[in-house]
A and B are shown apart, each in its own frame.
Chain A
């Protein structure tokens, strides 16, 4: 089965995120005074072939750990669609 996967990679809490800070500053300049805690990350879409949703999740975890995220500085989470 082919599973559609969405991977979200974001800077770890506590890690300086200059892009997030710049975007937050910009939003505030536009008058969005209520904004806080902006973090800029990456969204990666991919399809993965697997026998089950559990297997797909296992494979994607390995992809994230090995390449898609640098776990020293980034957190990741993903959503696996229906096969």
Chain B
């Protein structure tokens, strides 16, 4: 499967995403530059983590207008698979390819930790290799991961199953203590209504080998590979 990982000025995790895809999963993954205007025939676009354009104004607000984002928006409108990780999630929200927004963590502190996540919809292209209710361990590292959306929108998203991943404790329950950033409804990852665009704050690309502390990130990448084949 052919993947494209976008690098914006200030992206940090593009190399790790390429490593995960190429070296661990044996995929054909190319690097895409923010000034590129075409996606070179990729089947899935990855918007990686980092601090694109210095996170000036709001996280993802400037990156959203990079030339490549027009192609990404068209690709998504045609049903192409797009996954945004951390800053990539923030960019997708700013671009209105995903609902809601990400704001400053409730604690006002940057959080860097491993979290437990519950898969609340395993029928998507991004989670089909996991089971409903399955728990994943992935790292997070962000200052602005508090997911917000108007309550009415959240209710509709919950009904449609757009909340894919939720922060939970080790027994799989979401509580105030297991919510690392204060996200509404403990949301860690959401999809659009068509389920071809997915954003999440945790980093699957940093959890691809036991040596890195865990390899649950592979579950998400393998889901995408399965759905493309």
Contact = CB atoms under 8 A, between A and B. Distances in A.
Contacts of A70: 58, 61, 94, 101
Contact of B107 (A11, A15, A18, A42): A18
Interface of B: 57-58, 61, 65, 93-94, 99-101, 103-108, 146, 148-150, 182
Given A16-B182, A18-B182, A67-B61, A73 B148 contact: yes
Given A16-B182, A72-B101, A72-B150, 7 more contacts: A18-B103, A18-B106, A18-B146, A19-B108, A68-B57, A70-B58, A72-B100
Contacts of B65: 67
Most buried by A among B57, B100, B146: B57
A73 B104 contact: no
Contacts of B106: 16, 18
Interface string A1-38: 00000000001000110110010000000000000000
Interface residues of A, number: 12
7 contacts: A16-B103, A18-B105, A18-B106, A18-B146, A67-B61, A70-B58, A72-B93
Given A68-B57, A70-B94, A73-B148, A18 B108 contact: yes
A15 to B, nearest CB: 6
Interface of A: 11, 15-16, 18-19, 22, 42, 67-68, 70, 72-73
Nearest to B184: A16
Contacts of A42: 57
Contact of A73 (B57, B101, B182): B101
Nearest to A72: B101
Contacts of A72: 93, 99-101, 148-150
A15 B184 CA distance: 10
Most buried by A among B103, B105, B106, B146: B103
Q: Which 9 A-B pairs have the closest CB atoms?
A: A73-B101, A72-B101, A18-B106, A18-B104, A18-B108, A70-B101, A22-B108, A73-B148, A70-B58
A2 to B, nearest CB: 23
B187 to A, nearest CB: 13
A68 B57 CA distance: 7
Given A22-B108, A70-B94, A73-B148, A15 B103 contact: yes
A72 to B, nearest CB: 5
Contacts of A15: 103, 148
Contacts of B57: 42, 67-68
A13 to B, nearest CB: 12
